[in-house]
């Protein structure tokens, strides 16, 4: 039974997002999940990049790091490697995660780093006043694309599944009950859990009402362990809400623990002899 309340996770800073911004709903869901899981704020770290959404760690009473644009994942991975006992949650926007920061996403996924990555996807750069992002739609009009966006969007869910994320889900800021449940399951998951949280930017890309028409829940008979079915859902038009894919496999921390155990059990002199023998053989070869 949880002894903590959602309000216990609020910091003394009030969010400064625009009225109606979806990020409020994501933050409220995160507070509730942390309370449901009774997470100790002193053992929890929220790491963000740069963007409106990346301000989130300031509003939580946990530890937090507001890093650089596109860099929440490498910093979160470092925190988890340094202390696997911590609960580590990386947060950010679609621009932060899928433009400048994209190189980190597939590697965190394939390594199955035991962290949760929560992206507040508003299909726009909010903080810098509405430029098109990698998830902006073809022909979407925005301040930087008055004649329509000439590019096709990337699909973060399909990308996550392809890269080896072991938990891939989608939620929405306007459905906080379901989003809370998703975040809770993502944090509990042992491995890399990715949640694409639809989080409308009411100022530069107000999709608040239109997205409500496009969402549907994942079918009750969907087999979350079936990767092909997960791809189908990810590629389907509209937005499927819920867990698309979940796989149990050893996390990065567990694999490193196994290597440490093997290294500790092995004899250093034998290892050095074998290394020196190979080095000698390599040097001895004519070039």
Ligand X SMILES: Cc1ncc(C[n+]2csc(CCOP(=O)(O)OP(=O)(O)O)c2C)c(N)n1
Coil, helix or strand for 131? strand
Both tokens of 55, joined, read 């301000």
**Residue 191 interacts with which of ligand X, Mg ion, ligand SF4, none, CB < 5 to 8 Å by class:** none
- Which positions ≥6 away from 101 have C-beta within 8 Å? 49, 69, 70, 71, 72, 73, 92
The site for ligand X, by CB under 6 A, has a size of: 20
Indicate whether 196 belongs to the interface with ligand SF4 (CB under 6 A): no
**44-103 positions binding ligand X, by CB under 6 A:** 50-53, 69, 92-96, 100
Distance CA 143, CA 131 (A): 6
Q: Choose among 167, 51, 151: nearest CA to 101.
A: 51
Q: Pick from 9, 21, 172, 179: which binds ligand SF4 (CB under 6 A)? A: 21
Which residue's entry shows tokens 């996924």? 109
Distance CA 74, CA 107 (A): 9
CB of 106 to ligand X, least distance (A): 18
Indicate whether 247 belongs to the interface with ligand SF4 (CB under 6 A): no
Indicate whether 176 belongs to the interface with ligand X (CB under 6 A): no
Q: Pick from 115, 120, 142, 178: which binds ligand X (CB under 6 A)? A: 120
Both tokens of 117, joined, read 């990555």
Indicate whether 241 belongs to the interface with ligand X (CB under 6 A): no
CB of 15 to ligand SF4, least distance (A): 8
Q: Pick from 67, 87, 116, 133: which binds ligand X (CB under 6 A)? A: 133
Which residue's entry shows tokens 């932060």? 96
**Residues 47 and 55: beta-carbon distance below 8 Å:** no
Q: Choose among 55, 47, 44: nearest CA to 17.
A: 55
**164-183 positions binding ligand SF4, by CB under 6 A:** none
**104-143 positions binding ligand SF4, by CB under 6 A:** 122, 126-127
Indicate whether 208 belongs to the interface with ligand SF4 (CB under 6 A): no
Q: At what angle do helices 227-235 and 156-163 cross, to 10 degrees?
A: 160
Q: Which stretch, 119-127, 209-217, 232-240, 269-277, contacts ligand X (CB under 6 A)? A: 119-127
Q: Which stretch, 13-21, 100-108, 131-139, 230-238, contacts ligand SF4 (CB under 6 A)? A: 13-21
Which residue's entry shows tokens 């053992």? 43
Binding site for ligand SF4 (CB under 6 A): 17-18, 21, 23, 52, 122, 126-127, 201-204
């Amino acid at each position: 039974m949880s002894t903590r309340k959602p309000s216990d996770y609020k910091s003394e800073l009030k969010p400064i997002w625009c009225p109606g911004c979806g990020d409020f709903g994501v933050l409220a869901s995160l507070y509730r999940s942390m309370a449901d899981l009774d997470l100790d704020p002193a053992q929890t770290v929220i790491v963000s990049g740069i963007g409106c959404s990346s301000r989130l760690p300031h509003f939580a009473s946990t530890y937090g790091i507001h890093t650089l644009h596109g860099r929440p994942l490498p910093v979160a991975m470092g925190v988890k490697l340094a202390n696997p006992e911590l609960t580590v949650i990386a947060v950010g926007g679609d621009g932060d995660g899928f433009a400048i920061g994209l190189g980190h996403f597939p590697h965190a996924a394939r390594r199955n780093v035991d962290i949760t990555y929560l992206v507040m996807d508003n299909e726009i750069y909010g903080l810098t006043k509405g430029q098109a992002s990698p998830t902006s739609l073809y022909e979407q009009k925005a301040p930087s694309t008055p004649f329509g966006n000439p590019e096709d969007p990337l699909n973060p869910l399909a990308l996550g599944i392809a890269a080896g994320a072991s938990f891939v889900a989608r939620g929405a800021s306007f459905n906080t009950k379901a989003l809370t449940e998703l975040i809770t399951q993502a944090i509990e998951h042992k491995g890399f859990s990715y949640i694409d949280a639809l989080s409308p930017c009411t100022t530069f890309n107000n999709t608040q009402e239109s997205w409500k028409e496009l969402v549907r829940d994942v079918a009750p008979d969907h087999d979350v362990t079936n990767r092909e079915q997960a791809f189908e859902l990810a590629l389907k038009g509209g937005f499927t809400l819920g867990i698309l894919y979940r796989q149990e496999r050893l996390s990065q921390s567990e694999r490193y623990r196994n290597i440490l155990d093997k290294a500790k059990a092995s004899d250093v002199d034998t290892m050095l002899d074998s290394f020196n023998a190979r080095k000698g053989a390599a040097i001895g070869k004519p070039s």
